[in-house]
Amino acid sequence: MRERLTRSRVWRSIFRHGWPDNPLDRSLVMTTNLFLHLHPVKVNRRSLRPTYSFGLGVICAILFTELVLTGILLMFYYVPTVERAYSYIITLQTGVPFGQLLRNLHRWGGHLMLLAAILHMARVFYTGAYKPPREFNWVVGVFLLLLTLAASFTGYLLPWDQLAFWAITVGTSVAGYAPGIGGQARSFLLGGPEVGQEALTRFYALHVMLIPLGIGLLTSLHIWRVRKDGGLAANEVENTE
Ligand code: HEM
């Protein structure tokens, strides 16, 4: 009896609601659970249909987490110097257990996150979820897409192979033609007249620190706003029908 009492006290110290078989407990389950509290207490059936959002925003968030984790592991082996970067990548692929898998997980994760962000944006547009009150979150989303593109671009230089070198040479030259700020943008990225050690150092700092920090902060704001705007737009569509 005493044991059951203690167990129930331990249980209740963590779960502050009863079995969800009445409206009050159902609400408490939603508001006291870290994951469920991201949703409104009541949602429309329509917004729960997997084909409404295809979970593309969540997929972006999961891929970002995967990229941070594999990126941290890659940093154990990578050194951003023009003399050693390429040979470290080769050593990672050929001499480190699961090194090739780790590199591919990061590379493919990056491609997939960009694809998922573009598809997510298309879904939001198609369902009209960019309209008020969600217009601010749409703008946050645009910055998230730009940061995702920037992460892909800066990561591309890091292997320091021929493909990387020439892709960034072309990419930064194109940036140089942007009206007004082109020249400054190019010298900010390269830190010199051409792609060299300064550019590699800058791309590395942007890729492993500034851009992921920006994506992390904006994603938190983005998901918080989804909740504050009343969950998915589908909730309102059905309410007004
Ligand atoms: C790149 C990282 C991004 C992440 C991690 C992300 C995450 C999310 C998540 C988790 C949701 C909840 C619904 C869902 O899963 O579809 C959501 C909704 C939303 N997202 Fe994103 N998103 C990203 C990019 C974008 C972009 C590029 C746009 C548009 C320019 C955008 C605009 C919106 C809007 C307006 C909503 C509300 C949708 C509705 O109410 O139906 N997001 N996002």
Q: Where are the domains of the chain?
A: 54-229
pTM of the shown model:
0.90
Calpha distance 188→199 (Å, rounded): 9
- At residue 129 the predicted structure's pLDDT band, cuts being 50, 70 and 90, is very high
Average pLDDT value over all residues in the chain: 93
Q: Using CA of residue 56, residue 57, residue 60, residue 62, what is the dihedral sign?
A: negative
Calpha distance 100→198 (Å, rounded): 27
- At residue 7 the predicted structure's pLDDT band, cuts being 50, 70 and 90, is low
What integer is the mean pLDDT of 63-86?
97
What integer is the mean pLDDT of 208-235?
95
Atom of ligand 1 nearest to the CA of 60: 5
* pLDDT for res 241: 45
Among 47, 51, 130, 222, residue to substitute to test ligand 1 (most atoms within 8 Å of Cβ) = 222
What integer is the mean pLDDT of 42-46?
86
Second-level CATH architecture of 54-229: Up-down Bundle (1.20)
Distance 222 CA to ligand 1 centre (A): 7
Indicate if ligand 1 lies below 6 Å from the C-beta of 92. no
CB 43 within 8 A of CB 231: yes
Among 37, 47, 120, residue to substitute to test ligand 1 (most atoms within 8 Å of Cβ) = 120
CB 120 within 8 A of CB 57: yes
* pLDDT for res 48: 87
Assess whether pLDDT exceeds 90 at residue 178: yes
What integer is the mean pLDDT of 162-179?
96
Calpha distance 125→138 (Å, rounded): 9
- At residue 214 the predicted structure's pLDDT band, cuts being 50, 70 and 90, is very high
Ligand 1 atom 25, closest CA: 141
Indicate if ligand 1 lies below 6 Å from the C-beta of 57. yes
Q: With the CA atoms of 44, 48, 49 and 50 taken in that order, what torsion angle do they form, in degrees rounded to the nearest 10? A: 160
Ligand 1 atom 9, closest CA: 57
- 225 vs 10, more confident: 225
Distance 5 CA to ligand 1 centre (A): 45
Distances from the Cα of 2 to the Cα of 7, 59, 68, 233, 236, angstroms: 9, 46, 46, 49, 49
Exposure of 69 in the CB half-sphere (CA atoms within 13 A): 9
Least confident of 29-38, 86-95, 141-150: 29-38
- At residue 235 the predicted structure's pLDDT band, cuts being 50, 70 and 90, is confident
Calpha distance 237→241 (Å, rounded): 7
Distance 202 CA to ligand 1 centre (A): 29
Among 66, 226, 227, 235, residue to substitute to test ligand 1 (most atoms within 8 Å of Cβ) = 226
Tokens of residue 26, six digits: 């159902």
Assess whether pLDDT exceeds 80 at residue 153: yes
Assess whether pLDDT exceeds 60 at residue 239: no
Calpha distance 116→60 (Å, rounded): 6
- At residue 47 the predicted structure's pLDDT band, cuts being 50, 70 and 90, is confident
- Overall size of the chain counted in residues: 241
